[in-house]
Structure formats: structure tokens, C-alpha cells
Structure 1
Amino acid sequence: MTPTSSQADAQLPLRQMLICGALIVTLSMGIRHSFGLWLQPITMAHGWTREDYSVAMAVQNLVWGAAGPLVGWWADRSGAFRVLWLGALLYALGLFGMATTDQHLSFVLTCGVTIGLAQACTTYAVIYGVVGRNIDASQRSWAMGITAAAGSFGQFLMVPLASTLIHKLDWSPALSSLSLAALLIGPLAFGLREARRQAPAAAPSQHGKTAALLDGTPISAGAALKEAFGHRDYLLLTAGYFVCGFQLAFIGVHLPSYLRDHQLDPQVATTALALIGLFNVFGTYAAGTLGQRIRKTWILSFIYAMRGVAMIAFVFTPPTPLSVGLFAATMGALWLSTVPPTNAVVAQMLGVKHLSMLGGIVFFSHQIGSFMGVWLAGRLYDATGSYQVVWWIAIVLAFAAALINLPIREQLQPARRLVSA
């Protein structure tokens, strides 16, 4: 593939950027998706309730989302290199803290706050900012799909690895081992180290011209925020992403315990999470590729609606290894397939100069949903002894998100920027 002019200017080889970005997301998201396997070992070891564990995971999601816009602003301003190194160190520290603390407050501070900050520094908002700045708009959705798909493979790899470590080493040494793996994010950051950018008279837009107000003033971070919050379609996209977070956090953290409650072998849960990761590879790549050909918001509506259908079928079917496998494969294809079109729509509507920051704000909505999904599931389970109510909340939200995304327009606002036709 011949590099475009924007790639050449950025001095980041396409293959290097995609491989390093995918490996970083593989480690960060792969470790994160295995946390559901630790719910029962940790609660049993410390005598905690499921809500106790869920609170820490909920805080993790909320901190991740709240820190996202600030981390994104830092990455947009200074590049991703230092951000990723900080994330690697925080991730290792948080995992080691999870492994060694036996106090609930300390667990919330390590698992919740520290790892939440680490994830903000090492996941999609930061990586996609680099991709957005270093690849032409004609290939952006595809490149984001490639990165997400390759990163999704991390869940397929890391969940069985985490399960094996738990059974071979016990849960605490297993977490300590993963803390060492998280440190690998730092060396990989060298592959995303961008050349120091001089402050230009006007920042490059996704069309390769200028991103500026009509009076020629370059768009500052503050102006970009004002523009985004006055953009109806950006707000609708942000609202829809709340649902994605609710569903993924609930299923990712509580599905193993839900299956254990139905007397299924723990290996069924491990296989289910691994299948989600495997089929996630195909789903995210397909969403990114299709986003080059059809409206990305139609893709998002389809994904949310199909999640609702899949969950209805799962709720009405007695859990067996076969039904769980089919559900996991289906949800896997729909899992992170929302990520490439969502971020590509943000770039298309508002440009790439502040993509990490603006994408981080959309992701904050996702993480508020994650907070609600993981905490509410633990809360309602302790109150009712069942996850049934949470499943139906997730189903209703799926169809609501499908409707919210239908009217979203993807076009750049021509009245606000000077761009080529």
C-alpha cells in the first residue's frame, strides 16, 4: 500500500503504527476483559459481596471515562508516547495492588482508580488519535477497524491465559504476572512516537486543508469543545454510546457468575469470554470496512438492534454450553464493532486535530454506562438473587440506542470550517 501524503508528512509508517497500536490495545483490553474471572475468587477470599467487587469495577470504568478527555487533550497536544508510558506504569501498579490488598477501600483505589487511569492512557481514544492524525480520511475507518480487530484478538488470547494462571498459580500470583505483562505497553509506545509537531497557522483537517473558523482562526481545544457540545448529532452519538458501555460492562464482568449460578462449569465462562474476543475480531474489522461504503450510523443502529435480539434469545433459552457459545459468538461479532464507526463519525463531523479529546468525551458517556451496568448488576443481584432485571434493562436500552443513531448526520459542518469540497 502506497502511503498517502498525510502519512508521509506524519513520518509514521502505516504498518508500524497499526501493529504497535494493535498490540497495545491487545494488552490493555485483553487484561481488562479478563476481570470477570476474578469476581468469585476475590469475593470468596475476602468475604465480600458481588456488589463490593462491582463497586471497584464501576469506579474503574468511571475513572477511565472521566480521565479520557483530559488524557486525550494531552495526547493531542504532546503525542501519545508519554501518555502510553504513564499508562503502562499505572496498569502494572494497579494490578499488583489488586493482588496484594485485602481492604476494600484499597481495592477500590487500585482496581478502580489506578487501573481506570491506566486504561484511559492505553486504549482506543489515545491510539485512534494517532491513527486519525497519520492516515488519510479515505482509509481512516478501515485503519480503525484493523486496529480494533487486532486488539480484539487480545481478549481471545488473554482470557484463557488469565484463566490458566488463576488455576495454576491462584488468583493473586496470576494478577502479579499480568502486572508484568502490562509493562510491555511502554516499549511498544516507541512505535507510536510522532515527530514533534510545530504549532501551525492552522491545524490539518481530515481533508488535508485547514481546520479553522471562518475568520481563519485555528480551532483551539476550547472552541472544539464548544462546537461539539452545540452539535446535535455529536450529542446523539454520545448518548447512544452510553448503552454500549452498559451492556459490555454488565456482560463482561457478570457473565461468568451468571453461568456459575446456572450450574455450568467455569470453563464454559472462560470459553464464552474467549469466543467474544475471537468473533470481536471479525465484527470490528467488518464494521470498519463497511464504514468506508455505507453510513456508519446505520451500522451502529444495526449493531445495537442485533444486540437486543441476541439478548432476548439468550434470556429465553436455558443456558447450556451450546447456547452460551452461540450467544458469545453473536455478541462477540457485535462487541467492539461500535468503536471504529463511532470514532470515524467523530472525526468526520469535527475533524482530527482534537480527535483524542472529543473521542474521549464520547467515551466518557460509554463509561458512565459501564459504571451503571457493572454496579447495578451487582446491586440488583444482591437484592434479588438474580440478574434477570438487568438483562431486560440492557435489552430495552439496545433498541433505544438503535433509534437514537438513525437520524445522526455524518457530514462535517461546512459553516464552521474552511475545508476543501
Structure 2
Amino acid sequence: MTTSPSPDALPFWQRPATIIVAGCLICLTSFGVRSSFGLFTAPISDAHGWPREVFGLALALQNLLWGVAQPFAGAAADRFGTARVLAVGALIYATGVALIPYSDTPGLFYLSAGMLSGIGIATASFAIVMTAFSRRMPPERRSWAFGIATSASSLGQFVFAPLGQAFIAAYGWQTAMLLLAVLLLFCLPLTMALRGSASDSTNADDASDPEVTLGGALAWALRYRSYVLLVFGFFVCGFQLAFITIHMPPYLTESGIGAGVAAGAIAIVGLANVAGSYISGILGGRLSKRYLLSAIYFGRAAAITVFLLVPLSTVSVFGFAVVMGLLWLSTVPPTAGLVALMFGTRYMGMLYGIVFFSHQVGSFLGVWLGGVLYDRMGNYDAVWWLSVALGLFATLVHLPIREARAPGAVRDSATA
């Protein structure tokens, strides 16, 4: 049986440590910029005299296009290499963000903040970075690597929430957006460390993956009930996270909580999730991934319920931010780990992209319904309680998942 080459025998730019550092910096920047968009809700809406639904629909389109493009971006990374996909994505993403200050009609705003930014995020996101990680890490270390990538994304939320607020306060929202676009361009040189496609995997465990066509791999996955349940479950994650990211800042400020506290809450969510995602990555390599996911979703439902029932204050906001932060992207390592366990890594980019598409459909509905129901009802209460109900649904839907190689796969004894 062949073995993976020793890390010391590889060129510096191909060593696992270099790949992880570069990938994490890309995750930090791309996700950090995206997580700061909620801070621009009121400034952009007020500047143009738009109802909240316009901003909500643009961000909903962004999330939907992110999801639609993700499987295609993953398939492109599987075939042409992650570095090329990430570089193109960073350019598209930066272009979309840079055009936002010049989008003075809803149609142009939907194009820049919605379509271009969404496609850019899909092709420069942690999903593509994790695809590179999955091919360079042995199976027993994949969940840990996925946790590292997710933690870096969360650290970006912690860094960019106060940074975005500081940019807005110091220079106005237009210049703040341009500065964020410039920061995205720093991802371009980092992409070189993540070169390689599915055929370049250094994982001996993946060397015997079958030569399956792209369509065949997708059909194989969609016939597997456990994969379909995973797709449904990740929908809930997207709904909850997108709604809270975009609509919690205005919800808090309109409830009498200062804008600084609102920005601080988003930052705390990101900081707490650095720990939560890393811990989830470790636990995903040691415990049942399906039970871990059920526990995370139940914890979210309980946290939102308590948040809604206790009096709103700075203490309750920060407490909620800490708890939700620990559970925020902690779903990603076990979810990605289950995809790799079921199907291996040859089509990891595409198959995880399909799961992530479901996540982004949920994101679209979370952002869009938040804006629509706010405009019609004058508050966010209905969407908060819907988030609780969906959390309970996700708790149950993960329990029947089989943690095993999908029928028809080779090397059924392999682990991920």
C-alpha cells in the first residue's frame, strides 16, 4: 500500500502547514467581509430611502447565488484546481463589493451586493478551502482541518465586524465598502499555496477512488438517504445564521440597544465560534457526527428561546452572542466530515457544494423573510420563533443518518 509523502519532503508551499495558514487567511478575509454586511443595512437603506425589504432581498439573492454557484465552484475546483477558482472568486467578490457604493437603484444593488458578491463568495469561500484541505490531510485529521478552516472564518467575523463599524464611523459607508473590497484583493497571492485538483491528492486513502463521472457521482449521492437528510438539515443552519447575521443588528438598535453593542455582539459571535468550530472539529473526529449535529441544533433552538423570553439588555445580548457563537459554524466540520466519509474526496467540492446549496436556500429565506415580515408586521418576532421550530426539526432529521461509506463505494472500511 502506498503512503503519503512526508511533509518535510514536499516543497515549502506544498506542505500542510503552509496550505493551512494560507487557506485560513483566505477564509478569514472572505467570510469576514461578508459577515459585516449587516452593519450596512440602516446606512444604505436610509441613504437611498429604500424599505428594509430592498436590502433584505439583495442579501437574500447573495446567499442564494452563493448556494447556486457553490456546486459549480466545487466541481471546477475538483477539475481545475482550488487556486484558480479561489483567485477568480476573489476578483469577482471584490468587484461586487466595490460596485455597491455606486448602485443607486434597487436593480444595480441586486446586481452588486446580490449576484456578483454571491458568486464571488461561492468561489472564494471556506468550502473551496476545505476541499483543498481534504486532499492534503489524512482521513483521521480531516475533521480537525475542517474545524481549523471554520474557526478562521469565524475569526474573520470577529475582526471585520468592529473593523467595518469603524470604517463606517470614520469614512462613511461608501468608503467603508471600497476599503473592504481592497482587503479582498489580498487573497490573490495566498491562493498559490492551494494549487492542485482532485488528481493531485497526496492522500493514499483516496488513490483508489473510482473513476466516476460528475453526473454519476451526483446521482450516486442523491440516491443515498443519509446524504439527502444531511442536505435537509443544513438548510436550517443557513436560515438561522443568515437571519441573525443580517437582521440582529437592526433588531437590537431598534430595541434600544446601541449600534456599538450590536456590532460587538456580531464580533463576539465570531470570536466564540473560533473556539466552537475548533472544538467541533476535534469532537467530529472522535464522536458520532450525527449526534453532534443534533446536539448543536437543539442548543441553538434553546438559546434563541431563552433570548426571546428574557428581558433584552446588554448582558442578555452578549450572553446570547457567546452561546450562539459556540454553536454558529460548529455544524460545518461534522457536516463536511460526513460527506467525505460517505463518498471520499474525489468529488468533495461538488458534493459538499450540493449540501451547501441547501444551506444557502435557507439563508435566502432567512434574510428575505426577515425583511418582508419586518416591513409587514413591524418586528422580527415571527422569524425568531420560526428559527426555533426549524432548530427542533434539524435536531430530529440528523438522528437517522448512517455514518458509513455510501453503498457502491470502494474501500468501505475507510474512515474520514
Which of the five TM-score ranges fits, normalised by the shorter chain?
A: over 0.9
Q: How does 1:3-402 map to 2 (within 5 A)?
A: 4-5=4-5, 12-194=14-196, 197=199, 207-212=205-210, 218-402=211-395
Greater Cα shift, 11-20 or 342-351: 11-20
Count of aligned pairs: 410
How much is the aligned-residue C-alpha RMSD, in angstroms?
1.8
CA contact 1:6–1:136 (8 Å) conserved in 2: no
1:209-238 C-alpha deviation (Å, 9 max, x unpaired) = 4122xxxxx122111101100010000000
Deviation at 1:415, TM superposition (A): 3.5
CA distance in 2, matches of 1:238, 1:354: 16
1:74-124 C-alpha deviation (Å, 9 max, x unpaired) = 000011111111111111111111122211100000000000010001112
Deviation at 1:165, TM superposition (A): 0.2
1:248-290 C-alpha deviation (Å, 9 max, x unpaired) = 0000000010001111111110110000000010000000000
CA distance in 2, matches of 1:8, 1:265: 52
CA contact 2:71–2:349 (8 Å) conserved in 1: yes
Specify the code of the residue in structure 2 equivalent to 1:211.
D
Consecutive unaligned residues in structure 1, runs of 5 or more = 213-217
Greater Cα shift, 406-415 or 325-334: 406-415
Compute the TM-score of the two structures, normalised by the length of structure 1.
0.94
CA contact 1:210–1:419 (8 Å) conserved in 2: no
Greater Cα shift, 342-351 or 150-159: 150-159
Work out the percentage of aligned pairs sharing the same amino acid: 42
Q: 3-state DSSP class of the match of 2:311?
A: coil
Tell me which residue corresponds to 1:215: none
CA distance in 2, matches of 1:184, 1:145: 23
CA distance in 2, matches of 1:350, 1:10: 27
1:286-330 C-alpha deviation (Å, 9 max, x unpaired) = 000001110111111010000000000000112111000000010
Q: 3-state DSSP class of the match of 2:409?
A: coil
CA contact 2:4–2:203 (8 Å) conserved in 1: no
Deviation at 1:194, TM superposition (A): 2.5
CA distance in 1, matches of 2:132, 2:283: 21
CA contact 2:295–2:395 (8 Å) conserved in 1: yes
Deviation at 1:379, TM superposition (A): 0.3
Compute the TM-score of the two structures, normalised by the length of structure 2.
0.95
CA distance in 2, matches of 1:333, 1:348: 24
CA contact 1:314–1:327 (8 Å) conserved in 2: yes
CA distance in 2, matches of 1:412, 1:205: 17
Tell me which residue corresponds to 2:402: 409
Greater Cα shift, 354-363 or 94-103: 94-103
CA contact 1:67–1:117 (8 Å) conserved in 2: yes
Specify the code of the residue in structure 2 equivalent to 1:38.
F
Deviation at 1:6, TM superposition (A): 8.4
Specify the code of the residue in structure 2 equivalent to 1:150.
A
Deviation at 1:125, TM superposition (A): 1.8
CA distance in 2, matches of 1:391, 1:294: 31
Deviation at 1:420, TM superposition (A): 5.3
Residue 206 and residue 364 in structure 1: after superposition, are their counterparts in 2 closer, same or farther (change >3 A)? Answer: farther
CA distance in 1, matches of 2:135, 2:10: 7
Deviation at 1:7, TM superposition (A): 6.4
CA distance in 1, matches of 2:59, 2:291: 31
